[in-house]
Structure 1
Amino acid sequence: VYLMNGNKKFLAMAVLCAVASVGFVLPAAAEETMTHDLDEVIVEADRDALPGGYITSISSNGILGKGSIMDIPFSKTSFSNKTIEQFNDPTAPLTSVLINTPSVRSSSYGLYNDFSIRGIHTTGYALYVNGVPGMFTQSTIPTNFAERIEVNAGPNMGIEGTTLNESAGGMVNMVSKKATDKPINRITQIFSGKSTYGQIIDIGQRFGKNKSWGLRINAENISGKTSVDNEELTNRDIFINLDHRDENSTSNLFAGYRQSKIKNPRGAFQLGPNVTAMPSAPKNTLNYGYDGQEAALDTWMVTLNHEQKIGKDVVAFFNGGYSRYDLYKNITWRAVDPYIITSNDGTFTAHSDRDGGFPMDSYYLQTGIKGKITTGTVTHNLAGTVDRMWKYGYSQYSNGGPNMVDTPNAGNIYEGRYDGKIPNLNINHNGFYRSNRTNYWGWTLADNIEFGKATVLLGLHGHHTDTQSYGKDSVKSNDTSPTYGIMYKPTDKLSVYASHSESFAAGSVVGSGYKNTDAILDPAKTKQNEVGVKYQAGQMTTSLSFFEITKASQKVQPQPVGLPLLTNDGENTYKGIELAVNGKISDKWALMGGFMYLDAEQKKTKNGDLDGIAVNGVAKWNAVLTAEYAPDKSTSFWGRGVYTGNAKINNEKFTVPSSLVFDLGASYKTKLGTTPVTVSATCYNVLNKDYWLPQGGYSSGNLAIGTPRTLMLSAQFEL
């Protein structure tokens, strides 16, 4: 047996034990005649994966570096590459992975892969890549480059540092794949939806002295019709990861390009003032876009991470990144104003835009130092950083003609669209102009103090922001965001903790479709208090947490004439309980999932009009459970149930019914000649349930239509 970690003593002991056991049971004559050499057997596995393989034991802990999830005083989930590959839905690969933790719920549709963490709406703008914020946007996010995906529930700027789009609900960090000691040459063929075909390539190799250099290349080409009528999706990308390691330093350079196109994307709905009853969900395959609607975008990105040992227990580090995003074709519905259902029979009003391009540049730089100081029985794990992030948004000049067409009776949610042609939007676009910019400067100090069985975490982030909407408004602000927590471990298998964390959002620029477009809303803070317990028993890991989040709320205020106003109004509170489980209940059965109860309500609203009203689009109960059965090393079967409880929208005027959706999958490992092949089949929404997905984060709550039954087939070849 060859061990990947090269532990020769362990190998020798294993061989001696094996020989001893064989010698004990075999007669002497057999010992003389059965001596022979065995072929080398390579055992490959993720050494950080917990039993079951879905979750890893390590996760990032902000500027303090990686740590065990049992030692971090927050709710943390770190999904392994097994989870990423098993739930690789081509239409929403990221959200399909994230919903395996009960704190996350998907509200994806068409072009946008939105989701919520602890009831608070967020998008790809809030994602981190290798600890660097701002590399992705709201649209379809690829996962083929990711080795693991980390979810931190709750705000945590006090140890994470500066970001322009920090989500009050939590953060998601995608860690890129690196070359391993064993060469990797994988090609995967997939089929999904009605006629979506794809190829995925994964190549890795280490080279140089002591294999100090590593190169990993991931690419995919996915294109075709989805399970939604007349909807076509194209996703293409290539990502390159180059890393170097030696005794005193580690470096990682990640770079990539991705392109995404979607034709005739399905949009979201809102309920108009004349609707008096909650409409039942329509058939999940129906589409409501004009024939010819299309969105196309691309992104260039690069991140660099470097750590340099400058003393026995002292390390200097640098993290940086750049992203160039361009929505270069945008013939869609108005993003700020989804289709409006105007009557109980399902009739809806539609808007169509022919917008110009929407480029955006994002930059991030961070440098710092971290180290360890031990005085007696107390150990201080210290870190300090300074960082800066800035973003420039651009818009395109237009000349002549309307850029939007309203269709009063565009169709019916139960029948489809009545007018199937793209409207004539005669609008010409010329050059670009810089429409807004946001700058952050920050510093962060953290100390993780260890003494005996207790650990105290102290973190403080200070920042200065400067947000400007050109020709309209400018807002500057200064503030601090503390993080602190205490953890006590009576045994290595049990952790009890309490923590407080905060985040700060700079003044946001009001988008199109409002009377105060390009105005800047005031900065706002989010605070979370959490207590919890983490426990490992046998091959199972369980966590239970109680939390309360308070954040500022935005409201859309209708006006007597013209467009509505978007303003800050009051605050939302989110009080909840979250239970998560993961591991193996027997040699052949693995589980992953949990539930979350969430009570979200509005407070301190204007004149108290909405005080005590439920936050729109937030379900009280959410649950997920994945069970995997592996009868042998070559075969596995799994099933997943995702439950979303009922949710109030339109300020408790309507209740969105609950939904329970089942997914099923199976995989089998075999060989074609000498080539190892893994064949997999997955069926999402296997019962083909029609259901609404409530979307929080909007003034009245949006409604997305659930994904239709979708079959995905794949074959992965190890070359």
Structure 2
Amino acid sequence: MNSKTRKQLLSFAAATGVLFQLGGTAHAVQVFDLGEFVVHAPARAAVEEVTATPSVEGAYAGGQVSQSSLMGVLGNQSFIDTPFNVTGYTNELMENKQASNVIDIVANDASVKDQSLSGASSAWSIRGFRTTQQDTQFNGLYNISPRFYTGTESIERVDVIKGPAALLGGMPPNGTIGGTINFVPKRATDKDITKVKLSYGNGSQFTQHVDVGHRFGDNNKYGVRVNVLNRNGETSNDNEKNNASTVAIGADMRGEKVRAAIDLGYVYNEIENPQYRITFGNKFLASTKQEVFTAKNADHHKKYGADGTYRRVTEKYGVISGEYDFNKNWTAYAGFGMRYTSMDYLYNEFQVNDINGKSNLRYRYNNQINKSTSVEVGVKGKITTGDVNHNIGVAFARSEYKRYMANRSLNNVAANFYVQTTNWGAPQGDLNWYTHLNDTSIQTGVSITDRITTKDESWQFIVGGRLQKIKTQNFPRLSKAFNGADTYASYDKTAFSPAVGIVHKFNDKTSVYANYMEGLQADTVTNASAVNFGEAVEPYKAKQYEVGTKFDFGKYTATVSAFNIKTPALSYVTVTPVNKLDRYYSLSTEIRNRGLEFNVFGEPTKGTRVLGGIMLLDSRYTKDNADSNAKGHRVEGTSKVNAVVGLEQDVKAVQGLTFTTRLNYTGPAFANQDNTIRVPGYFTWDLGARYTWNSGHVPMTVRADVYNVLNKDYWNALNGSVYQGNGRTAMVSVTAGF
């Protein structure tokens, strides 16, 4: 997208502030000249007193966490009434933390760990299980939110449900089992919204964001919310650039019996020269057999990637949803969405081959078109029998995607881990665009739930199950150069996932809960050296047992939970003993993640807010085979301790001034299944401040944050690889608007 188009999009968003007035009475117009564009905002007769912590509808004390979250087929549930560990992060938190993507938001949760491979590949783990943007939900629907872009400028709330949850929303497209992240889109509020935000930082990125919303009609029946964002500049990684242009429109109608909404979105995101992960070759792994190798000297000024690489993504998505009340007890609902994604991706893999740093850089090229649809219809209602209420829910869901992809290996270039260079030479190989069908996936599910409550709601029982059908087809690759199966591979299986939950409230402030939940996974062998490379693996289950307690002290809340999750896992079996690279991958191992979580959030005293927690995790292989010898080993990329604590303090002497700080700790972890490559643990420290005031009739907020204040160098561990953490970065922004 060129600069002219970006300016047109920003002008469109600015004009929307005037167009929205067609639904109401005429207003005087104020003009804010920002150089690149002009924003029109309705004038106000009076401006409310500015406070450092404006109230958020539906938010808990402090405004950072919501009172309720969307729990799939169970609907919106209060956090203290649910038999799960769930946190809903508000848009106020996103703004005050200057979060530009989902990673910045979930960084406030100790159970969620950043595992992004590069600036072009965002990922994270929940309770030790890795997931990506591709397994997020958009208002409860899978396969709709952008597949690769992780920006949150159009999101009102991010709900994080920890643990397997097949009952609530079905199986994610890529089989995530550690937890579910759901995006709740922004809606127009009864109070008009007109905001302009300019920010600079995280390297030298300049971002312009316009957010306008208006309701009109009788009783504010109709609403429209528009968000437009433009970002360009270099990131904190050397020579990496990230340019993005997005538009999101959310319109809704609120009637007495009918509620409906439509969401439309467009994304263009181009990343140049992305930083990438470091993998380890077989010779390097063999050299670590006798003693553990500890990765050191993580210099964030170094770059293990070639210039001239890029990822260009275009995403378009839309959702239509609605509800109809038959009467006060029964409601029908439905949602239908579509997404189209196009990706052009030239990247590299950096592999260290021996202890002296001898390495090679391999270019890869992946072009992809991804098309998906998702639909959910259901009915929910209440039946009273004797002294208990039955809250019944029946839902049908279907999600499908088709991936037209050609992912291929190009040339290798000699490299050295200890010697930096920018002269890698040009990629050589097939750089043509191919659109053959690579794989398809159709997931169909029917769920039935009964949430049984006593009349005083001191007891709550949830029983239910989901019958899930999974149909996957992998198609033959065009040639040996492509990543795809040599032979046709598919499966068409059905699985039933039961679930049970119980909550007992001693009073309005204290509850205990327990649950048994299952998650469904489907996988494909992605190791190119495997005999069965590209084959689909039949769906398999993860099983979770969890207990916990929640304390709501009115101003702040503390939760404690303990969980145990077991799941089969892919591992290799040597087909030809003489050749260790001749491997067949199957579900021959088992992973058990056992942990204890403590979370706290709220505003214990006026002007002091807290958000954070700690997770103690024991993630191990509990079964193995003769080749993997993994039993008892820690799972790659998992730390025994993860902790984060954030504090905000308003300055009483200066109205509108707030100071913030956040401490993050990640414990040591291993980067390979043999537990012979280790990365040390690390602390990072963030500091920030914001100041809110009225400039005439216009509320203004300036925010400034410094992340990793001490400029800590560190590695993060993944499955068979490591990647560098970010050094010290800063962000400053100014927001004007109502």
By the TM > 0.5 criterion, same fold? yes
Cα deviation digits, residues 286-327 of structure 1 (max 9, x gap) = 222212011111111112221100122000000221111111
Partner of 2:155: 146
Q: 1:543 aligned to 2:559?
A: yes
Equivalent residue number for residue 641 of structure 1: 663
Q: Which residue of 1 aligns with 2:646?
A: 626
Give me the TM-score of the superposition, normalised by structure 1: 0.88
2:605 aligned with 1:586, yes or no?
yes
Q: Secondary structure at the match of 1:178?
A: coil
1:444-483 correspondence runs (5 A): 444-451=447-454, 452=456, 453-471=458-476, 472-483=488-499
CA contact (8 A) 2:509 2:554 kept: no
Match of 1:691 among 714, 720, 724: 714
The SS at the match of 1:144 is coil
Tell me, in whole angstroms, the C-alpha distance in 2 between the residues paired with 1:254 and 1:546: 37
Identity %: 28
- Give 1:515 shift: 4.5
- Name which of structure 1's ranges 532-541 and 493-502 shifts more when overlaid on structure 2: 532-541
- 2:471–2:492 contact (8 Å) kept in structure 1: yes
Judge conservation of contact 1:225–1:232 (CA < 8 Å) in 2. yes
What pairs up with 1:298-697 in 2 under 5 angstroms? 298-327=314-343, 329-333=344-348, 338-355=349-366, 357-396=367-406, 403-408=409-414, 410-412=415-417, 414-417=418-421, 419-423=423-427, 425-429=428-432, 431-451=434-454, 452=456, 453-471=458-476, 472-508=488-524, 510=526, 514-555=530-571, 560=579, 566-607=585-626, 609-632=629-652, 633-650=655-672, 651-695=674-718
Superposition deviation, residue 261 in structure 1: 1.1
TM-align CA RMSD: 2.1
Task: Report the Cα distance in structure 1 between the residues aligned to 2:497 and 2:158, rounded to whole angstroms.
Answer: 25
Q: Which amino acid aligns with 1:570?
A: T
Match of 1:372, SS state, is strand
Which residue pairs with 1:9 in the alignment? none
Task: Give 1:31's aligned residue.
Answer: none
Q: Distance in 2 between matches of 1:611 and 1:228?
A: 38
Q: Deviations over 1:22-41 (max 9, x none)?
A: xxxxxxxxxxxxxxxx9674
Tell me the CA shift for residue 366 of structure 1.
1.1
1:40-72, Cα deviation, whole Å (9 max, x unpaired): 747862131111211111111221210100000
Structure 2 CA distance for partners of 1:365 and 1:384, relative to 1, 3 Å: same
**Partner amino acid, structure 2, of 1:421:** G
Deviation at 1:214, TM superposition (A): 0.5
- Partners of 2:677 and 2:580 lie apart in 1 by 26
What does residue 729 of structure 2 align with?
710
Counterpart of 1:358, as a letter, is: Q
Show CA shifts across 1:543-574 (max 9, x none): 00000011121235688387765443311000
- Confirm whether residue 203 of structure 1 aligns to residue 212 of structure 2: yes
Q: Secondary structure of the equivalent of 2:102?
A: helix
Shift in alpha-carbon separation, 1:512–1:189, aligned structure 2, 3 A: farther
Q: CA separation in 1, counterparts of 2:176 and 2:661?
A: 31
Q: What is the rounded CA distance, in whole Å, between the counterparts of 1:654 and 1:431 in structure 2?
A: 38
Aligned to 2:633, what secondary structure does the other structure show?
coil
One-letter amino acid matched to 2:633? I
Contact 2:406 2:438 in 1 (8 A): no
**1:116-165 residue CA offsets vs partner (Å, 9 max, x unmatched):** 00000110111001111112466340101111100000011113235423
Per the alignment, residue 13 of structure 2 pairs with none
Change (3 A) 1:430 1:715: closer
Tell me the distance in 2 between the aligned counterparts of 1:221 and 1:419. Answer: 32
1:186 matched to 2:186: no
**Of 100, 113, 116, which residue of structure 1 is paired with 2:108?**
100
Aligned to 1:50: 60
* In structure 2, C-alpha distance between the alignment counterparts of 1:154 and 1:322, rounded to whole Å: 27
SS of the aligned residue for 1:416 comes to coil
1:407 aligned partner, one-letter code: V
Structure 1 residues 275-294: aligned runs within 5 Å? 276=288, 277-294=293-310
Asked whether 1:264 is paired with 2:282, we answer: no
In 2, Cα distance between equivalents of 1:258 and 1:389: 22
Question: What pairs up with 1:79-158 in 2 under 5 angstroms?
Answer: 79-90=89-100, 93-108=101-116, 109-136=118-145, 139-158=148-167
Shift of 1:507: 4.8
Residue 240 of structure 1 and its aligned partner are, at CA, apart by: 0.5
Runs of 4+ in 1 over 6 A off after TM superposition: none
Q: How many residues align?
A: 663
| Partner residue, 1:28 | none
Q: 2:610·2:645 contact (CA, 8 Å) conserved in 1?
A: yes
Q: Find the aligned partners of 1:65 and 1:474 in 2 and give their Cα distance.
A: 34
- Distance in 2, matches of 1:216 and 1:137, equals 19
| 1:506 positional shift | 3.2
> What CA distance in whole angstroms lies between the structure 2 residues aligned with 1:330 and 1:406?
17
Q: What one-letter code is carried by the residue in structure 2 that aligns with 1:75?
A: N
Cα shift at 1:433: 1.3
**Residue pair 1:665, 1:682 contacting (<8 A) in 2 also:** yes
| Counterpart residue type for residue 622 of structure 1 | N
* Segment drifting more, 163-172 vs 179-188: 163-172
Q: Is the 8 A contact 1:628 1:639 kept in 2?
A: yes
Distance 1:346 1:447, change over 3 A: same
Structure 2 residue runs of 5 or longer lacking an equivalent are: 1-44, 477-487
Matched, 1:236 2:219: no
SS in 1 for 2:190: coil
Give me the whole-angstrom Cα distance separating, in 2, the residues matched to 1:331 and 1:564. 28
What is the distance in 2 between the residues matched to 1:321 and 1:563?
43
Residue by residue over 1:555-608, the C-alpha shift from the partner in whole angstroms, topping out at 9 and shown as x without a partner, is 356883877654433110000000000112322211110100000111222237
Q: CA separation of 1:194/1:545 partners in 2, compared to 1, >3 Å: closer, same or farther?
A: closer
CA spacing shift, 1:376–1:598, aligned 2, 3 Å: same
Q: Is the counterpart of residue 220 in structure 1 residue 200 in structure 2?
A: no
Separation in structure 2 between the aligned mates of residue 287 and residue 235 of structure 1, nearest angstrom = 23
**Alpha-carbon distance, 1:396 to partner:** 4.5
Contact 1:279-1:344 at 8 Å conserved across structures: no
Distance, in Å, in 2 between the alignment partners of 1:565 and 1:678 is 58
Deviates more, 1:379-388 or 1:429-438: 429-438
In 2, distance between residues paired with 1:137 and 1:635? Answer: 36
Given that 1:187 and 1:201 are in contact with CA atoms closer than 8 Å, whether structure 2 keeps it comes out as yes
Find the aligned partners of 1:78 and 1:502 in 2 and give their Cα distance. 22
Counterpart code for 1:716: T
The aligned amino acid for 2:678 is: T
Query: Does the 8 Å CA contact 1:289/1:417 hold for their aligned counterparts?
Result: no
